[in-house]
Amino acid sequence: MDKEIEILQAAYRNFNARNLDAVLALMAEDVQWPNGWEGGYVHGHDGVRDYWTRQWAVLDPKVEPQEIYRLEDGRFAVEVHQIVHDREGKLLADQRVRHIYRLSAELIERMDIEEVIP
């Protein structure tokens, strides 16, 4: 389990550093990723790259893992503190959110946004 936690921690670290290629290297080629900004899902590295490039042009999100644990079904839950500003610095969101991950062969296959944590 330690390897999976390291992968997830690296994904958040590289996302916050805007190191897109490093995050994509942790994902399966056919990854399914939630489009938390516009709704639905994006698929594959090209879909994630396009989504984040467009998002980062408008928003400045920072997502810090607070807790990572394995669920009974083998997926991983990551409770995060998410802070989102617009490009002018206006605070848009400051909340805790639960992300759910499915990994296989030490790559992220799917991520879901489960819920905002009160």
Q: Distances from the Cα of 7 to the Cαs of 21, 27, 40, 94, in angstroms?
A: 14, 10, 24, 25
Q: Is the overall model pTM greater than 0.75, yes or no? A: yes
Query: Encoding tokens for residue 73?
Result: 């079904």
Domains and CATH numbers, the chain: 2-117 (3.10.450.50)
Interatomic CA distance for residues 103 and 48, integer angstroms: 16
CA dihedral 112, 113, 114, 115 (to 10 degrees): 180
pLDDT tens over the chain, length 118 residues: 589 999 999 999 999 999 999 999 999 999 999 998 888 999 999 999 999 999 999 999 999 999 999 999 999 999 999 999 999 999 999 999 999 999 999 999 999 999 777 6
Smallest CA-to-CA distance from 7 within 113, 104, 112, 98 is with 104
Cβ proximity of 20 and 68 under 8 Å? no
